[in-house]
């Protein structure tokens, strides 16, 4: 039986609206939501995967008729209203909830993750991530590195729901699918008139189990790939919730994103390592309370100081990046290996200002730190440890190391001394022994100043007669070739696949190299292959080259061997159609094959010709570039009319093919 079920409380504890779990987040639900969701998704990352975890926040408006067991739910709301009728706050809440349910559409916030394991063990009773999330309140059995120590993080989404109701849908790595709803509300009278618990479930009523069969899960709630969806029903969308979520992601997950362990999409904005800089500028750089920008600089700028302690107290690696700065906040972000920031450490006594990022990488140190974090994961508190004294000592040592390293930095004051511009012309410091004696200055020393006299040379470009312009197959200025060779090395080295990449999808738009194919340096084929000409002139060259056997003509007359063009004139008679008249003078009689070149400002390419005729008779064109046979008479001029494939008004030249 599928439906809403609020188990009876057996006339025991009554649950009101002030549930402890949700109140923790009331102050800033967006920040908490973002932190908890991203943390849990990061924890669920597929082990050994190099792909980043992806989390997407999307608002949807769903017809209220699609709300699971809508009628029963509304009835429950009204029962709750009745039960708590003398509590103004509760009444207000439920009145609002009923309004939300009675509207045409209900707003949902859907949060999906990808490249995670999904919530496991849904079909196995009590164990596994699924049940831990849904049912238990106390400890979790996730391993130490996972960001969520006590599992209380799951309350955050409820704080963002006007209905305090959230639906979960998952598909795990074994293909097990599950769907269930949780409503964290209040004690009320059920159909049998008994008081219920505050928390109710939507799913299989018996034993409050999830729905496991795919076809019984309504389509909009189904997962199509491994991972988890969280649907926050009656999403309380305050005007700038997106901004708040983005800021939260930036503040808490800066390092995860920079290290490419996490990508977050909020509405249409995607936050990844590449887009991060501009998003930081737009959202947090100029916000006084936001520290992510200085942390970003400390973490990425090339001259920031980096300190690595390979084995901190036998617990693994710890590293810290520090960057002095005039307006820096004097804080260090304390980050664990998932890339999530736990808190900002201050109270440093240094003469200069700086920003820093500390990352606890080692497995052991992460386990230790997780144990001493409160449910909100915003501090490291020694008292939470089984052995507080020991914990205190460890933390103290960590802080001491940090202070030591920071103090070892002397901020450079390169611009603490300046000259007065232009004064050296009048009062130069020329008696300095340390200065190189002037006479020995070589030509290249010193600043360039006034221009020298110039001598003009003229370059006579009297045209060389076209006797020299004999085309061979595949003959063209090497301009395009050079460019293609250089492509290989253009971007970051190490991408030996570049050559390959540029060819694979000649027509694909996204030339950004973010597809996985280039990570392997194994494609040895590239370095040896000259870059293939898939475009422009090189293309034509290759085609021409490959399709041109020496003896191509079947019945056609042989080209006169020593035929050359001694003079030519080409002009455009119809620019819209790309028609040109070509007049040639030859040195011999006979047949010949000609080609036309388009000359650009620099270099050029073979012209593709659509049609050609001589004295009204059409002339064959091979591969769109080789025209012939053309009959030449040395006593007269040969006139052709050609039409270019693309109507273009351009500078041309004509030449004969050697063979």
Residues 145-184, interacting with another protein (CB under 8 A): none
Tokens 């390959």, located at residue: 500
Q: What would the two tokens of residue 76 be? A: 């429950």
Residue in the structure block whose two tokens are 């253009």: 490
Instruction: Determine the Cα–Cα distance for residues 277 and 296; give it in Å rounded to an integer.
Output: 8
Alpha carbon distances (Å) from 407 to 50, 229, 411: 36, 47, 10
Q: Which of 389, 464, 554, 635 binds another protein (CB under 8 A)?
A: 464
Counting contacts by CB under 8 A, is residue 491 touching another protein? yes
Contacts for 526-529: CB closer than 8 Å, 24+ residues apart: 526/488, 526/496, 526/497, 526/498, 526/499, 526/500, 527/488, 527/496, 527/499, 529/499
Burial 287-310 (b: 16+ CB within 10 A, else e): eeebbbbbbbbbbbeeebbebebe
Query: Which of 192, 458, 551, 562 touches another protein by CB under 8 A?
Result: 458
The CA dihedral of 480, 483, 484, 485, to the nearest 10 degrees, is 120
Kindly tell me which residue out of 414, 520, 550, 562 binds another protein, with binding defined by CB under 8 A: 414
Of the candidates 83, 232, 653, 657, which one interacts with another protein according to CB under 8 A? 653
Residues 600, 609: Cα–Cα separation, whole Å: 17
Starting at the edge strand found earlier in the chain, the sheet holding 637-644 runs 565-574, 579-586, 637-644, 609-614, 617-618
- Which of 138, 239, 446, 549 binds another protein (CB under 8 A)? It is 446
Among 455, 554, 555, 616, binds another protein (CB under 8 A): 455
Nearer to another protein, 215 or 419 (CB): 419
Q: How far is residue 101's CA from residue 315's CA, in Å, rounded to a whole number?
A: 53
Q: String of b and e for 429-455 (b: at least 16 CB within 10 Å)?
A: eeeeeeeeeeeeeeeeeeeeeeeeeee
Minimum separation from the CB atom of position 583 to another protein (A): 6
Among 172-180, 206-214, 492-500, 587-595, which window interacts with another protein (CB under 8 A)? 492-500
Nearest approach in angstroms of CB 571 to another protein is 6
Between 346 and 516, CB nearer to another protein: 516
Select from 606, 632, 600 the least CA-distant residue to 476: 606
**Nearest residue to 185 via CA among 359, 17, 375, 353:** 17
Helix, strand or coil, per DSSP, at residue 129: helix
Any contact of residue 259 with another protein (CB under 8 A)? yes
Q: Does 121 bind another protein (CB under 8 A)?
A: no
Taking alpha carbons only, the member of 465, 4, 511, 34 closest to residue 211 is: 4
Give φ, ψ of 156 to 5 degrees.
-55, -45
CB closer to another protein out of 430 and 562: 430
- DSSP annotation of 564: -
| Residue (117 or 568) nearer to another protein, CB | 568
Q: How far apart are CA 200 and CA 194, in angstroms?
A: 14
Kindly state the smallest distance separating residue 154's Cβ from another protein, in Å.
Answer: 32
Determine, following the binding rule CB under 8 A, whether residue 460 of this chain makes contact with another protein. yes
Give the interface segment with another protein, choosing from 6-14, 230-238, 362-370, 456-464 (CB under 8 A): 456-464
Q: Which of 61, 490, 530, 658 binds another protein (CB under 8 A)?
A: 490
Asked if 530 interacts with another protein (CB under 8 A), we say no
Distance CA 437, CA 430 (A): 9
Q: Does 509 bind another protein (CB under 8 A)?
A: yes
Q: Which is nearer to another protein, 192 or 303 (CB)?
A: 303
Task: Give the number of residues in contact with another protein, rule: CB under 8 A.
Answer: 110
Which residue of 20, 88, 450, 555 would you call a contact of another protein, by CB under 8 A? 450
416-445: which residues touch another protein (CB under 8 A)? 416-432, 434-436, 438, 441-445
Q: Which is nearer to another protein, 80 or 338 (CB)?
A: 338
Q: How many CA atoms lie within 13 A of 108 on its CB side?
A: 23
Instruction: Check residue 506 for interaction with another protein (CB under 8 A).
Output: yes
Outline where 141-222 has alpha helix (H).
156-159
Report the alpha-carbon distance of residue 84 to residue 89 in Å, rounded.
Answer: 9
Least distance CB 502 / another protein (angstroms)? 8
Whichever of 470 and 570 has its CB closer to another protein, that residue is 570
Among 277, 375, 411, 474, binds another protein (CB under 8 A): 277
Exposed/middle/buried for residue 413 (C-beta within 10 Å: 0-12, 13-18, 19+): exposed
Q: Which residue among 192, 457, 551, 562 contacts another protein (CB under 8 A)?
A: 457
Residue 483 binds another protein (CB under 8 A)? yes
Counting contacts by CB under 8 A, is residue 533 touching another protein?
no
Asked whether position 522 contacts another protein by CB under 8 A, the answer is no
Contact call for residue 410 and another protein (CB under 8 A): no
What backbone phi and psi angles, to 5 degrees, belong to 520?
Answer: -85, 130
Interatomic CA distance for residues 125 and 119, integer angstroms: 13
Q: Which residues 553-612 are close enough to bind another protein by CB under 8 A?
A: 568-573, 575, 580, 583, 598-605
Least Å from the CB of residue 468 to another protein: 11
Draw the binding track, 302-331, toward another protein (x: CB under 8 A; -: no contact): xxx---------------------------
Q: Is position 463 an interface residue for another protein (rule: CB under 8 A)?
A: yes
Q: Which of residues 194-253 bind another protein (CB under 8 A)?
A: none
- What's the min distance (Å) between Cβ of 51 and another protein? 13
Q: How many residues does the chain have?
A: 659
Specify the residue, 286 or 457, whose C-beta has the smaller distance to another protein.
Answer: 457
> What separation, in Å, do the N-terminal and C-terminal C-alpha atoms of the chain show?
86
282 binds another protein (CB under 8 A): no
Contact between 63 and another protein (CB under 8 A)? no
Does residue 453 bind another protein (CB under 8 A)? yes
Tell me: does residue 487 bind another protein (CB under 8 A). Answer: yes
Q: Is 268 in the site for another protein (CB under 8 A)?
A: no
Piece in contact with another protein (CB under 8 A), picked from 79-87, 213-221, 507-515, 550-558: 507-515
Q: Does 286 bind another protein (CB under 8 A)?
A: no
With a CB cutoff of 8 Å and minimum separation 6, the contacts of 530 are: 484, 485
**CA angle, corner 588, sides to 587 and 590, nearest 5?**
145
**Bridge partners, residue 606, by sequence:** 597
Least CB distance to another protein at residue 495 (A): 6
Q: Which residue, 45 or 155, has its beta carbon nearer to another protein?
A: 45
Are the C-beta atoms of 263 and 271 separated by less than 8 Å? yes
């Amino acid at each position: 039986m599928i439906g809403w079920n609020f188990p009876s409380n057996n006339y025991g504890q009554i649950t009101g609206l002030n549930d402890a779990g949700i109140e923790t987040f009331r102050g800033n639900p967006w920040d908490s939501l973002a932190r908890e969701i991203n943390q849990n998704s990061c924890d669920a990352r597929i082990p050994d995967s190099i792909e980043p975890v992806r989390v997407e926040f999307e608002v949807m408006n769903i017809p209220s008729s699609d709300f699971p067991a809508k009628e029963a739910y509304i009835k429950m709301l009204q029962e709750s209203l009745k039960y708590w009728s003398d509590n103004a706050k509760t009444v207000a809440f439920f009145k609002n909830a009923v309004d939300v349910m009675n509207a045409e559409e209900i707003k949902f916030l859907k949060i999906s993750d990808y490249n995670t394991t999904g919530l496991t063990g849904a079909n196995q009773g009590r164990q596994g991530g699924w049940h831990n999330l849904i049912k238990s309140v106390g400890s979790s059995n996730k391993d130490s590195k996972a960001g969520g120590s006590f599992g209380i993080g799951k309350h955050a989404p409820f704080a963002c729901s006007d209905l305090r109701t959230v639906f979960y849908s998952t598909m795990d790595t074994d293909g097990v699918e599950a769907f269930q709803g949780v409503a964290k509300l209040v004690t009320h009278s059920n159909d049998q008139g008994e008081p219920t618990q505050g928390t109710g479930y939507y799913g299989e009523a018996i034993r409050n189990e999830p729905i496991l069969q795919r076809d019984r899960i309504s389509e909009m709630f189904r997962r199509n790939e491994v991972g988890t969806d969280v649907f926050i029903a009656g999403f309380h969308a305050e005007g700038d919730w997106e901004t708040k979520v983005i800021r939260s992601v930036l503040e808490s997950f800066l390092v995860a994103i920079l290290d490419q362990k996490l990508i977050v999409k909020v509405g249409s904005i995607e936050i990844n390592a590449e887009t991060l800089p501009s998003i930081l500028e737009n959202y947090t750089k100029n916000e006084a309370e936001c520290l992510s920008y200085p942390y970003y600089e400390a973490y990425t700028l090339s001259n920031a100081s980096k300190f690595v302690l390979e084995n901190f107290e036998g617990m693994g690696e710890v590293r810290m990046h520090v960057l002095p700065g005039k307006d820096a906040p004097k804080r260090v972000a304390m980050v664990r290996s998932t890339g999530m920031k736990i808190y900002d450490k201050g109270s440093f006594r240094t003469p200069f200002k700086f920003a820093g990022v500390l990352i606890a990488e080692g497995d052991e140190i992460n386990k230790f730190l997780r144990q001493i974090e409160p449910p909100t994961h915003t501090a490291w508190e020694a008292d939470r440890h089984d052995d507080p004294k020991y914990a205190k000592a460890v933390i103290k040592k960590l802080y001491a190391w940090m202070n030591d390293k920071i103090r070892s930095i002397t901020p450079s004051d390169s611009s603490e001394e300046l000259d007065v511009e232009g004064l050296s012309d009048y009062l130069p410091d020329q008696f300095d022994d340390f200065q190189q004696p002037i006479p020995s200055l070589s030509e290249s020393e010193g600043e360039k100043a006034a221009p020298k006299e110039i001598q003009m040379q003229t370059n006579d470009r009297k045209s060389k007669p076209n006797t020299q312009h004999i085309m061979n197959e595949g003959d063209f200025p090497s301009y395009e070739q050079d460019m293609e060779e250089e492509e290989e090395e253009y971007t970051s080295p190490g991408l030996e696949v570049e050559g390959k990449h540029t060819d694979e999808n000649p027509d694909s738009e996204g030339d950004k190299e973010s597809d996985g194919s280039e990570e392997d340096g194994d494609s040895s084929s590239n370095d040896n292959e000259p870059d293939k000409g898939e475009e422009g002139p090189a293309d034509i060259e290759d085609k021409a080259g490959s399709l041109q056997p020496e003896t191509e003509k079947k019945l056609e007359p042989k080209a006169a061997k020593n035929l050359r063009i001694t003079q030519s004139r080409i002009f455009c008679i119809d620019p819209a159609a790309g028609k040109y008249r070509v007049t040639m003078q030859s040195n011999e009689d006979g047949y010949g094959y000609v080609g036309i070149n388009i000359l650009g400002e620099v270099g050029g390419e073979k012209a593709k010709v659509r049609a050609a005729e001589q004295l009204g008779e059409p002339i064959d064109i091979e591969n769109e570039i080789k025209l012939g046979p053309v009959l030449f008479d040395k006593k007269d001029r040969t006139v052709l009319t050609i039409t270019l494939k693309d109507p273009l008004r351009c500078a041309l030249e004509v030449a004969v093919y050697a063979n």
